[in-house]
């Protein structure tokens, strides 16, 4: 692994289903982030983690949950998907939370029908 | 509220110069970033400004005026591969990145 990876690349999901988007980084970055990007809107922060074992809510956290059991992994879970969660999801990481040069994964394109 | 404004779309000619502006109103300021995002790809880091003035990096330069809440990204000697969206983002007092919606730059031959 080099950098930050996400899985799956894309997914079509029925409304009401549970889905976990995976994110793994090998840069030993302390801070990690989940964003969604919708056409015409900027990146919107869903959840973040400043260090392993801690998480925080971003701008649009409703319907999503995260965990940070270790430094490398930061999964995002949709407990019961709804069509408004159709979006492109980006995971990102930065060395720490006080300097925000963020490195992004390739993204997951999620469609909820 | 926190707000970052940048033009939605700009068009420029190959070989020319283009300036993309960004104005911001945020709770505190701890730096401004410019990212490039090609269609269907992830954003990648271009520049970081925390002090007033111009930062030059090859064909790209970024300027910051903290008193005016203003930044611009200057792209020189435009190439077709520069066709992309350019995202302005500001670190607020809580060290959260606030993102603009991005400027789509179209380069014509």
B59-80 burial code (b ≥16 CB/10 A, e <16): ebbbbbeeeebebbbebeebee
- 3-state secondary structure at position B99: strand
Does the beta carbon of B50 lie under 8 angstroms from any beta carbon of chain A?
no
Contact B41 A106 (CB under 8 A): yes
pLDDT at residue number A99: 74
H-helix or E-strand containing B11? Answer: strand B9-13
Average pLDDT of chain B to the nearest whole number: 95
Number of H helices, E strands in chain A: 0, 11
pLDDT at residue number A1: 54
Contact B87 A102 (CB under 8 A): no
User: B68 vs chain A: nearest CA distance in angstroms?
Assistant: 22
pLDDT at residue number B74: 98
What does the radius of gyration of chain B's CA atoms come to, in whole angstroms?
Answer: 13
pLDDT at residue number B27: 86
Nearest of A10, A7, A44 to residue A112 by alpha carbon: A10
pLDDT at residue number B96: 84
Q: Among residues of chain B, what percentage have pLDDT more than 70?
A: 100
d(CA B59, CA A95): 27
**Digits of tens for pLDDT over chain A (113 positions)?**
579 999 999 999 999 999 999 999 999 999 999 999 998 888 999 999 999 999 999 999 999 999 999 999 999 999 999 999 999 999 999 998 887 789 999 999 999 99
Tens-place pLDDT, residues B84-104:
999 999 998 888 889 999 999
Query: With contact defined as beta carbons under 8 Å apart, do B14 and B32 qualify?
Result: no
Which residue reads 């014509």 in tokens? Answer: B108
Statement: residue B6 has pLDDT above 80: yes
Does the beta carbon of B31 lie under 8 angstroms from any beta carbon of chain A?
yes
Beta bridge partners of A18: none
Statement: residue B19 has pLDDT above 70: yes
d(CA B102, CA B84): 10
d(CA A63, CA A78): 6
- 3-state secondary structure at position B82: helix
- Give A-chain residues touching B89 at CB under 8 angstroms: 43, 100
User: A15 vs chain B: nearest CA distance in angstroms?
Assistant: 24
**B53: phi > 0 → left, psi -120 to 50 → alpha, else beta; which?**
left
């Amino acid at each position: 692994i080099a950098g930050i990876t996400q899985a799956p690349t894309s997914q079509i999901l029925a409304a009401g289903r549970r889905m976990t988007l995976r994110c793994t980084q090998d840069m030993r970055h302390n801070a990690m982030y989940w964003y969604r990007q919708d056409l015409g809107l900027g990146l919107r922060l869903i959840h973040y983690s400043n260090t392993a074992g801690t998480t925080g809510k971003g701008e649009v956290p409703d319907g999503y949950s995260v965990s940070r059991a270790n430094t490398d992994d930061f999964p995002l879970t949709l407990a019961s998907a709804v069509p408004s969660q159709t979006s492109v999801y980006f995971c990102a990481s930065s060395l720490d939370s006080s300097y925000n040069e963020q490195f992004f994964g390739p993204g997951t394109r999620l469609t909820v029908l | 509220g926190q707000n970052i404004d940048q033009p939605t779309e700009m068009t420029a000619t190959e070989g020319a110069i283009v300036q993309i502006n960004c104005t911001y109103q945020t709770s505190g300021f701890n730096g401004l970033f410019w990212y490039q995002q090609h269609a269907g790809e992830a954003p990648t880091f271009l520049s970081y400004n925390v002090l007033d003035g111009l930062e030059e990096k090859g064909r790209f330069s970024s300027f910051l005026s903290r008193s005016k809440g203003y930044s611009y990204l200057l792209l020189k000697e435009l190439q077709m591969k520069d066709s992309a969206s350019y995202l302005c983002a500001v670190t607020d007092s809580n060290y959260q990145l606030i993102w603009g919606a991005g400027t789509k730059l179209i380069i014509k031959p």
